[in-house]
Structure 1
Amino acid sequence: METSRPWLTDYPPGVPAEIELADCCCVNQMFETACRQYADLPAFTNMGHTLTYADLERLSRAFAAFLQSLPGMEKGARIALMMPNLLQYPVAIFGALRAGLIVVNVNPLYTERELEHQLKDCGACAIVVLENFASKVQKVLAATALRHVIVTGAGDMLGLPRRLLVNFAVRHVRKMVPPWSIAGAVSWRHALRAGATMTPPAIGVGRDDIAFLQYTGGTTGVSKGVILSHANVVANVLQCRAWIGGTLREREEIVLTPLPLYHVFSLVANCLTFMTIGGLNVLITNPKDLPAFVKTMRAYPWTVMTGVNTLYNALANTPGFGPDCARSAKLSIGAGAAMLRPVMERWTSLVKGTMIEGYGLSEATAGVCINPPHRPRLGAVGIPIPSTEVRIRRDDGSICAPDEAGEIEVRGPQVMRGYWNRPAETADALSPEGWLRTGDIGTMDADGWVSITDRKKDMIIVSGFNVYPAEIEAVVAAHPGVLEAAAVGSADAHSGEAVKLFVVRKDPQLSEHELLAYCRANLTGYKIPRQIEFRAELPKTPIGKILRRELRGG
């Protein structure tokens, strides 16, 4: 590596400067090795039902065989997964990868507009969707390349009679499943039964094959697919495993997984990294149900938890939460958004063990910097993990002095191959030498510790999710009563940041209530503005570009 790496002196004991990729070329190999090694150990649990590693291998093999039997599902075809944290998710992920397919994670809370864009952009041929969201798929189906729809109920992986009770309650008591009708749709349980009778053809998957298209927001207002190869993902898993290796023990760890597996942080840190040490993932389907979450925390002697600032804050302030909810805790990990000092201090006063913060982004698979568990530093996102270079650059391309703010650039085996079908944006993000221009503004001190001082230009982070103003503005500008719109982030005690919208009316009668209703119909919940301010005009540069920084200041 070309850059100096002063951070190596602060590495946890036993953590290597470099990781070795030669022993494992793809996620499938890593998965199958774990299933052989930890066959009898519990792998995932949810709603009172547990899958062992042997169960997971058997079920994912059946699902892979079923997928390979479908027309058009050749190696490299895209399959979308649209579910919250249920036992179906890991079975679908590993089944799809073993079938040689590319997994496209989809936020089930997407509006029809957002869902249609992502499905069309990736060209998905198949989708696995929780029945609660099947009506959305039905409405966009004709505009996409989807040929196969597999629908599952929330209780489909549970044993009898619980499976019937959960599905009945979701459908008929809570009425959480809007009516839907999709010709040719296949049930999840049918897919597993059919696949169990088949022998899946051997599919050769290598390090350079694509494993995931992880969609992220775009400054153009359009989400784009981050191309993550098997080598990218394996590298980041090995980096994370090396980092926590001195803190965690093989075959003994239980990790709480409240962040959705469609979020790359949860996918890599929880689902994949803990798989390699024979850990148990406790899947939390609805982390917003805080009393139920606290009950689950008491029920399991969990040792590790990952989350975002808002979740830790909410739990710490939930009645009944206390030390008895974390009697075996070793490590709490925060990422996805800045961890606030008061939240970290309150959490660590209630939960034993260490709390550490990290930094990453989808374009670098997940992890770039993490605080050393043996010596965390409050206010910093940590130091670069093995085989990772980080540098801070000025606008003119020169390297910043220690503690001088500039753009964070990253190079390492976890850095994406590029954006799906977007060569121009790929060229903007990746230098010819392999440096990823993150757009994040930060500092690095003389010892190599990184701190984030600002975020990507104009980006808003709501509870760990990226919100790009251009997307909000594009949606709002389509309203016939709007002349101009600008979205910025404003401080929010609950979500860290929230969207604030500035609007110049075209229709003088346009009300805040009407505009909010329009936003709710066209934007995912966390993207909906919390505040709307009407103005006669918006501040602009001489060439007419809206000055969001002035609006943030105002």
Structure 2
Amino acid sequence: MSADDFSLQLLIRTEDAADPAFVFDGVAVSRAKFQEKIGQTAAWLAAQGIGKGDVVAVWLVNRIEWVALLFAAARLGAIVAAVNTRYRSAEVAHLLRVSGARLMVVEAAFRTIDFAAILADVAKAEVPALQKLAVVGADAIPAHWPCVRFDAFDKAYPSVPRAGDDVDLPVLLYTTSGTTRGPKLVAHSQRTLASHAASVATALKLDPRRHSLLAMLPFCGTFGMTSLLGFIAAGATIHVLDAFEAAPAQKILEEQKITHSFGSDEMFRRILALTDAPRPFPHLEICGFAAFQPGWRELAAEAEARGMKLFGLYGSSEVQALFSIARTGDAFADRIEGGGWPMSPDAEFRVRDTETGALAAHGVSGEIEISAPSRFLGYFNNPEATHDAITVDGFFRTGDIGRLRGDGAFVYETRAGDAMRLGGFLVAPGEIEDELKACPGVADAQVVAVDLKGHARCVAFVIPTKAAPQQAALTARLRERLAGYKVPARIYLVEAFPVTDSANGVKIQRARLRTMAMERIAAE
């Protein structure tokens, strides 16, 4: 098998080119048309001065331009940095700075998101590499940078030959939680993306004539992108939501007889709540779900009773989503657990006892370590973090706790450390704490996650300076700088944090902070 067999280009099946690859808002895009759009986008990127090794930040909702930009960048040897549409100024600035993006492709507007206002809070000096913005849906937006219109599909640009595919160079950067301010950038190559997509198509036994996908997860994250690429590799039709809403999702599931969908437990909960039909989606075969909210077991049981089979799975930005999934033959209790069976026959996983450092036996919890064709290249421009994340024999230290089942599958149990799962995303407390500590009146801050009315939210504890800050002012400041799901539901002023002495120094008792947060909320 040659290196070219692992290029993104070869994921697009050439037989039956007239068949739809995507359906956006009821409009079909055939495989032949998708190929054409990739060529147009590559020519447009080249006309903007983008070539091998250059980084293009993509800040778009789910649209054909997003996918065309990724495949076109691969054709040129360029790199796409995926920007979460829920990001705000501090997060956007960090991603642009670390990636060194020269060009950002951005929405003119989408629903309530004011992209121009967010960018206005990013100083040019913070992101020295960025040269211009390309706007989808308008000629320009108010910005510090020159703007051009993304008109790849409307205007003819000189075609460019494919660069000799080096399938092991970075082509896509995801963001993932860091332990300090700002997320790290996870670099994937065409080989890691394409080989895993092929594994997903094979493991799920996808038939292009029978199967279809409702893509309701954002393309900017590995969960949305991996499922997308897997169905592209299978040649199956993909119905796309620009952003998740339960009502349109329900309508597509019913009318288009969708067979597969992937999302969070909350997404499926909202969809089911819209219909009283006893078995509303008889064509659905697999709903792969990530459990982020309390009560997910009860949801899975309700969904099962109504014919919607939920399948637990596992993944991360570093090894990609859909690394593993439960099997149809698993007992219900096993099928809904996170973890499952690896998609790739070449994937390996093991569990290491976090106390002894030895490999754990079946049934013993420890840190999950993974070696697989889907494993990332490393953290972009961060060799130290990459070195710390990979064992000497090439396994990725996931930071997740789980156990081996003994039958070839594993169970994901929880996230190690203090990372929080908020709004469906993994968030490091330090990222929010650093923003709080930059606010006037804040001497120090700690952030913990709690269950607030059935939803995971964060609560902040702040040690004030002499001029104590007002919670409303802090909340307003954070709303300007961070995605909404990272803004604390409560901010409490304290004189000191609970601590404990250890052999390695004084440690903050984060478990005690969580208890304090719940006690104060209950008292309200």
TM-score, length-scaled by structure 2: 0.89
1:26 aligns with 2:3: no
User: SS of the residue aligned with 1:76?
Assistant: coil
AA aligned to 1:381 is G
Residue 384 of structure 2 aligns with which residue?
424
Q: How many residues align?
A: 500
In the TM superposition, residue 535 of structure 1 has moved relative to its aligned partner by 2.5
1:329 aligns with 2:296: no
Residue 520 of structure 2 aligns with which residue?
none
1:369 aligns with 2:319: no
AA aligned to 2:514 is R
| Alignment partners' CA distance in 1, 2:398 and 2:362 | 19
468, 471, 475: which is aligned to 1:512? 471
Q: Please, which moves more after superposition, 326-335 or 442-451?
A: 442-451
Residue 42 of structure 1 aligns with which residue?
20
Distance change (3 Å), C-alpha of 1:55 and 1:182: farther
Residue 161 of structure 1 aligns with which residue?
none
In the TM superposition, residue 516 of structure 1 has moved relative to its aligned partner by 1.7
Residue 408 of structure 1 aligns with which residue?
368
Q: Is the 8 A contact 1:28 1:94 kept in 2?
A: yes
| Alignment partners' CA distance in 2, 1:549 and 1:336 | 22
Q: Please, which moves more after superposition, 398-407 or 499-508?
A: 499-508
AA aligned to 2:363 is D
| Larger proportion of strand | 2
| Alignment partners' CA distance in 2, 1:151 and 1:486 | 38
In the TM superposition, residue 128 of structure 1 has moved relative to its aligned partner by 1.1
1:281 aligns with 2:262: no
AA aligned to 1:193 is D
| Alignment partners' CA distance in 2, 1:384 and 1:439 | 18
Matches within 5 A, 1:112-511: 112-132=89-109, 133-137=115-119, 139-140=121-122, 142-143=124-125, 144=127, 145-153=129-137, 180-181=142-143, 184-188=146-150, 190-194=151-155, 196-245=156-205, 248-269=206-227, 271-287=228-244, 289-318=245-274, 320=275, 322=277, 325-335=280-290, 337=292, 340-352=296-308, 354-375=309-330, 377=334, 378-385=336-343, 386-395=345-354, 396-495=356-455, 497-507=456-466, 509-511=468-470
| Alignment partners' CA distance in 2, 1:321 and 1:240 | 33
AA aligned to 1:365 is Q
| Alignment partners' CA distance in 1, 2:347 and 2:68 | 31
1:552 aligns with 2:519: no
**For 1:45-102, what per-residue CA distance to the aligned partner results, in whole angstroms no more than 9, with x for missing partners?**
222322111111101111101111222x121211111011123222222222222211
| Alignment partners' CA distance in 1, 2:499 and 2:34 | 56
Q: Is the 8 A contact 2:56 2:102 kept in 1?
A: yes
Q: Is the 8 A contact 1:336 1:359 kept in 2?
A: no
| Alignment partners' CA distance in 1, 2:92 and 2:291 | 22
Residue 538 of structure 1 aligns with which residue?
497
User: SS of the residue aligned with 2:508?
Assistant: coil
Residue 173 of structure 1 aligns with which residue?
none
| Alignment partners' CA distance in 2, 1:350 and 1:136 | 42
Residue 5 of structure 1 aligns with which residue?
none
Distance change (3 Å), C-alpha of 1:232 and 1:337: farther
| Alignment partners' CA distance in 1, 2:157 and 2:188 | 32
AA aligned to 2:124 is A
AA aligned to 2:86 is L
Distance change (3 Å), C-alpha of 1:450 and 1:205: same
Q: Is the 8 A contact 2:6 2:195 kept in 1?
A: no
| Alignment partners' CA distance in 2, 1:530 and 1:361 | 26
Identical pairs, percent: 28
Q: Is the 8 A contact 1:310 1:463 kept in 2?
A: no
**For 1:198-254, what per-residue CA distance to the aligned partner results, in whole angstroms no more than 9, with x for missing partners?**
221221112212121111110123211111111111222122122201xx3223322
| Alignment partners' CA distance in 2, 1:231 and 1:41 | 26
| Alignment partners' CA distance in 2, 1:349 and 1:21 | 47
| Alignment partners' CA distance in 1, 2:43 and 2:11 | 19
| Alignment partners' CA distance in 2, 1:281 and 1:358 | 20
| Alignment partners' CA distance in 2, 1:186 and 1:315 | 39
| Alignment partners' CA distance in 1, 2:45 and 2:3 | 29
| Alignment partners' CA distance in 2, 1:545 and 1:66 | 53
Q: Is the 8 A contact 1:308 1:463 kept in 2?
A: no
Q: Is the 8 A contact 1:63 1:191 kept in 2?
A: yes
In the TM superposition, residue 268 of structure 1 has moved relative to its aligned partner by 0.9
TM-score, length-scaled by structure 1: 0.85
Q: Is the 8 A contact 1:243 1:372 kept in 2?
A: no
In the TM superposition, residue 509 of structure 1 has moved relative to its aligned partner by 4.4
Q: Is the 8 A contact 2:208 2:234 kept in 1?
A: yes
Q: Please, which moves more after superposition, 391-400 or 541-550?
A: 541-550
> Which structure has the higher relative contact order (CA within 8 Å, separation 6+)?
1
Distance change (3 Å), C-alpha of 1:493 and 1:308: farther
| Alignment partners' CA distance in 1, 2:222 and 2:339 | 18
| Alignment partners' CA distance in 2, 1:185 and 1:435 | 43
